[in-house]
């Protein structure tokens, strides 16, 4: 042992979000004899570890869990805690904290509300759980050519516990879907039509909704694996290599301040799309594409009051806990012709609260969100400083990010489209749609992108192994090479499945 850590393991995983958890789960299933150590810089805030904080029924306890997830200076009730972005101000969503500095360079658009979560379970302890499949240009062509992409996405569904029926009893969900379908479905293939959003949520026998977090991804297979250990409050500061090959990690125990080296045959870094390239940079692993092709989804929002709304009898006296049940979540899939991903939800469950003080009947207001796919550029990137550091003492970040003319054209189209969709459902609450500050989607991608060859435009192979660093695998939205508009977690969990299978196969072929 070294401190509270083992001196060596087969696999070290950095980050306990859903993609790190996917590696742990697949390895537990396919290589049960392998020793695995997972390191997470944040604290454990829910039970089982990694569980979604929405499953915590006591609102004070839930707020505490959110506050403890908010980074190196997290404080319960402090300045940085929570709030929902309603204007162009920099405000973080509960459970997240913003990039303090370097989020915008003069003359560029930047990512003013680029955010992180630091807790066991990562952002998936706070997420909405929308798990749509990528479509058309969002798909990863070389994985489709190999015929593996859909099977990996199926595995992602299994690990995340994705269902489409949790809101089937919602009184207004089918009305919303029917009205959207009437104006949108013409000419679309069946899988592209307006439909229920696949969600990482299930309903317990007593009727209560349980949102999936990393706890569900890990599952009993990981929790009951005697060779798996999760270490919270453990900051990985460096990936160690020996003759180019991954050889372990340096980790600082935040409880004692002591640093340790844990040797490992394989290292997985799944530390989010900004901190994964940061850790590689800090470790001197700096492929040309590292941090580049960064892309976020510009998010347009609009709210309407459902036309001819008839409250369902069971809505009388319903408390806030039940509010998200009324209109469910509806999905308008991305297509190459309409390059936006639509998420339509009752506002109480939506990422945006536009009608906080509206006396309207519960469930009568729905929020529409259209996420736009970015025009990819190598120059959109996160850079790391040689000397300045962030709140964790790792290389400080500077984001270079600019919307192109094509991006502006897509955003303008999305604004027109969202009004059309909104008016199909009901009466608009505002004259015009609102564009959230860049970074609000929380879907940062591309910074450690996957490719078929080491040609300077990608960081990892189709198995998520870093070019030129055998034994080092990555997880997270940063690995996604396409500009998706849809919520990316299902896709990044699917890609993590392939990486974990490769490690399991390598362990089997070269047991130590
Ligand atoms: P994360 O979940 O970010 O986990 C990374 C972990 O690594 C963190 O816990 C972090 O603390 C840890 N870490 C970082 N650096 C280090 C280090 N050096 N040492 C040790 N640990 C480290 N996505 C969807 O697909 N659908 C949605 O509906 C959706 N809704 C969202 C709503 C909200 C409010 C939020 C906050 C996010 C939402 N997302 C959604 C995004 C989704 O949560 C992320 O895509 C997903 O969690 C990414 O998983 P990950 O494992 O790659 O990274």
How many angstroms separate the alpha carbon of residue 20 from the centre of ligand 1? 10
Phi-psi region at 292: left, alpha or beta (left = phi > 0; alpha = psi -120 to 50): beta
pLDDT at residue 322, as a whole number: 41
With the C-alpha atoms ordered 30, 32, 37, 42, is the resulting torsion angle positive or negative? Answer: positive
Q: Are residues 422 and 333 in the same domain?
A: yes
Give the mean model confidence (pLDDT) for residues 30-58: 97
What are the backbone angles phi and psi of residue 209, rounded to the nearest 5°? -80, 140
Q: Are residues 229 and 338 in the same domain?
A: no
Neighbours of 169 (CB within 10 A): 13
- Determine, yes or no, domain membership for 25: yes
Q: Using one digit for the tens of pLDDT, what is the confidence trace for 332-349?
A: 999 999 999 999 987 654
How many angstroms separate the alpha carbon of residue 342 from the centre of ligand 1? 21
Q: Of the residues 124, 240, 331, 494, which should be mutated to test ligand 1's pocket, given the most ligand atoms within 8 Å of the CB? A: 124
86 or 329: which carries more pLDDT confidence?
329
The ligand 1 site (C-beta within 6 Å) comprises 14-20, 39-42, 93, 95-96, 117-119, 122-124, 126-130, 235-236, 270-272, 275, 279, 442-443, 475-477, 487-489, 492
Give the mean model confidence (pLDDT) for residues 254-274: 98
Q: Band of the pLDDT at 20, cuts 50, 70, 90?
A: very high
Closest Cα to atom 6, ligand 1: which residue? Answer: 15
332 contacts 345 by C-beta, under 8 angstroms: no
Q: Are residues 350 and 452 in the same domain?
A: no
In the predicted model, is pLDDT for residue 496 greater than 70?
yes
- Which atom of ligand 1 is nearest the CA belonging to 475? 52
- Structural domain count, the chain: 2
How many angstroms separate the alpha carbon of residue 296 from the centre of ligand 1? 14
- Determine, yes or no, domain membership for 174: yes
Of 415, 437, 459, which one is at a domain's C-terminal end?
Answer: 437
Lowest mean pLDDT among 97-106, 214-223, 276-285, 381-390: 97-106
d(CA 439, CA 103): 9
d(CA 433, CA 299): 10
Closest Cα to atom 32, ligand 1: which residue? Answer: 127
Q: How far is CA 282 from CA 389, 394, 395, 464, in A?
A: 11, 7, 7, 19
- Determine, yes or no, domain membership for 392: no
- Determine, yes or no, domain membership for 30: yes
Of 437, 458, 486, which one is at a domain's C-terminal end?
Answer: 437
Q: Are residues 200 and 331 in the same domain?
A: yes
- Determine, yes or no, domain membership for 107: no
- Determine, yes or no, domain membership for 122: yes
| Helix/strand/coil percentages in the chain, nearest 5 | 25, 25, 50
In the predicted model, is pLDDT for residue 412 greater than 80?
yes
- Which atom of ligand 1 is nearest the CA belonging to 251? 19
Q: Are residues 365 and 491 in the same domain?
A: no
- Which atom of ligand 1 is nearest the CA belonging to 490? 25
In the predicted model, is pLDDT for residue 360 greater than 50?
yes
Quote the strand ranges of 355-412, DSSP E: 365-372, 381-389, 395-400
Q: Are residues 122 and 266 in the same domain?
A: yes
d(CA 85, CA 91): 5
Of 437, 461, 482, which one is at a domain's C-terminal end?
Answer: 437
- Which atom of ligand 1 is nearest the CA belonging to 237? 18
How many angstroms separate the alpha carbon of residue 122 from the centre of ligand 1? 4
In the predicted model, is pLDDT for residue 481 greater than 90?
yes
d(CA 490, CA 321): 26
Structural domain span for residue 507:
1-55+65-77+116-161+212-295+444-512
Q: Using one digit for the tens of pLDDT, what is the confidence trace for 95-138?
A: 999 998 999 999 999 999 999 999 999 999 999 999 999 999 99
Q: What is the mean pLDDT of the chain?
A: 92
Q: Are residues 430 and 462 in the same domain?
A: no
Of the chain, the end-to-end C-alpha distance in Å amounts to 19
Q: Are residues 365 and 430 in the same domain?
A: yes
- Given the structure tokens 């250990």, which residue do they identify? 229
In the predicted model, is pLDDT for residue 354 greater than 60?
no
193 contacts 18 by C-beta, under 8 angstroms: no
Closest Cα to atom 18, ligand 1: which residue? Answer: 236
Burial of 368 (0-12, 13-18, 19+ CB in 10 A): buried
Measured in whole angstroms, the distance separating CA 353 from the mean position of its chain's CA atoms is 20
Smallest Cα–Cα separation from 158: which of 496, 450, 428, 396? 496
In the predicted model, is pLDDT for residue 83 greater than 50?
no
How many angstroms separate the alpha carbon of residue 421 from the centre of ligand 1? 30
Q: Band of the pLDDT at 351, cuts 50, 70, 90?
A: very low
d(CA 490, CA 159): 9
- Determine, yes or no, domain membership for 91: no
Q: Are residues 269 and 341 in the same domain?
A: no
Q: Of the residues 12, 13, 15, which should be mutated to test ligand 1's pocket, given the most ligand atoms within 8 Å of the CB? A: 15
Closest Cα to atom 12, ligand 1: which residue? Answer: 15
With the C-alpha atoms ordered 344, 350, 353, 359, is the resulting torsion angle positive or negative? Answer: positive
Q: Are residues 418 and 451 in the same domain?
A: no
pLDDT at residue 87, as a whole number: 46
38 contacts 95 by C-beta, under 8 angstroms: no
Q: Which helix (H) or strand (E) holds 302?
A: strand 298-306
Give the mean model confidence (pLDDT) for residues 151-159: 98
- Which of helix, strand or coil describes residue 325? helix
In the predicted model, is pLDDT for residue 509 greater than 70?
yes
Q: Are residues 36 and 132 in the same domain?
A: yes
How many angstroms separate the alpha carbon of residue 477 from the centre of ligand 1? 9
Give the mean model confidence (pLDDT) for residues 402-431: 96
User: Catalytic pick from 52, 126, 400, 443?
Assistant: 443
In the predicted model, is pLDDT for residue 81 greater than 60?
no
With the C-alpha atoms ordered 222, 228, 233, 236, is the resulting torsion angle positive or negative? Answer: negative
- Which positions ≥6 away from 237 have C-beta within 8 Å? 250, 251, 252, 259, 279, 282, 393, 394
pLDDT at residue 88, as a whole number: 52
- Determine, yes or no, domain membership for 84: no
Residue 72's CATH number: 3.50.50.60
Closest Cα to atom 35, ligand 1: which residue? Answer: 127
Q: Using one digit for the tens of pLDDT, what is the confidence trace for 288-343?
A: 999 999 999 999 999 999 998 887 665 544 443 444 466 689 999 999 999 999 99
Percentage of the chain surpassing pLDDT 90?
A: 82
pLDDT at residue 346, as a whole number: 74
Verify whether residue 443 is a known catalytic residue. yes
Q: Are residues 315 and 364 in the same domain?
A: yes
């Amino acid at each position: 042992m070294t401190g509270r850590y083992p001196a060596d393991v087969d696999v070290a995983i950095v980050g306990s979000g859903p993609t790190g958890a996917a590696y742990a789960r697949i390895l537990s299933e396919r290589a049960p004899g392998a020793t695995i150590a997972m390191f997470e810089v944040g604290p454990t805030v829910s039970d089982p570890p990694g569980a979604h904080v929405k499953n915590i029924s006591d609102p004070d306890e839930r707020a505490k869990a959110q506050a403890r997830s908010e980074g190196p200076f997290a404080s319960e009730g402090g300045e940085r805690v929570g709030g929902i972005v309603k204007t162009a101000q920099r405000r973080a969503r509960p459970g997240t904290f913003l990039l303090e500095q370097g989020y915008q360079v003069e003359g560029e658009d930047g990512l003013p509300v680029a955010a992180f979560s630091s807790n066991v379970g990562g952002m998936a302890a706070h997420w909405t759980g929308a798990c749509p499949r990528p479509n058309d240009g969002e798909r990863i062509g070389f994985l489709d050519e190999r015929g593996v992409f859909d099977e990996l996405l199926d595995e992602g569904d299994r690990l995340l516990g994705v269902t489409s029926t949790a809101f089937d009893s919602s009184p207004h969900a089918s009305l919303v879907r029917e009205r959207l379908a009437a104006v949108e479905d013409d000419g679309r293939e069946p899988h592209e039509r307006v439909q229920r959003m696949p969600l990482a949520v299930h309903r317990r026998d007593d009727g209560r909704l349980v949102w999936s977090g990393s706890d569900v991804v890990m599952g009993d297979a990981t929790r009951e694996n005697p060779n798996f250990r999760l270490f919270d409050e453990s900051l990985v500061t460096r990936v160690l290599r020996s003759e180019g090959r991954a050889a372990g990690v340096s980790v600082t125990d935040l409880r004692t301040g002591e640093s340790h080296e844990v040797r490992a045959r394989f290292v997985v870094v799944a530390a989010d799309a900004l901190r994964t390239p940061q850790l590689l940079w800090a470790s001197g692993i700096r492929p040309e594409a590292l941090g580049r092709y960064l892309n976020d989804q510009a998010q347009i929002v609009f709210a309407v009051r459902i036309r001819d709304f008839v409250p369902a009898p069971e809505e009388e006296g319903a408390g806030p806990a039940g509010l998200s049940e009324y209109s469910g979540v509806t999905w308008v899939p991305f297509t190459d012709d309409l390059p936006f991903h639509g998420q339509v939800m009752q506002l109480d469950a939506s990422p945006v609260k536009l009608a906080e003080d509206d006396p309207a009947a519960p469930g009568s207001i729905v929020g529409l969100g259209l996420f736009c796919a970015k025009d990819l550029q190598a120059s959109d990137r996160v850079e790391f400083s040689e000397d300045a550091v962030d709140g964790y003492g790792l290389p400080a970040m500077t984001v270079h990010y600019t919307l192109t003319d094509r991006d502006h054209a897509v955003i303008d189209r999305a604004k027109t489209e969202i009004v059309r969709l909104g008016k199909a459902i009901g009466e608009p609450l505002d004259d015009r749609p609102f564009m959230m500050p860049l970074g609000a989607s929380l879907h940062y991608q591309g910074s450690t992108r996957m490719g078929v060859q080491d040609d300077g435009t990608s960081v990892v192979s189709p198995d998520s192994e870093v070019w030129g660093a055998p034994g080092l695998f990555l997880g997270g939205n940063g690995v996604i090479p396409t500009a998706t508009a849809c919520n990316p977690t299902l896709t990044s969990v699917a890609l993590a499945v392939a990486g974990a299978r490769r490690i399991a196969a390598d362990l089997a072929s070269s047991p130590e």
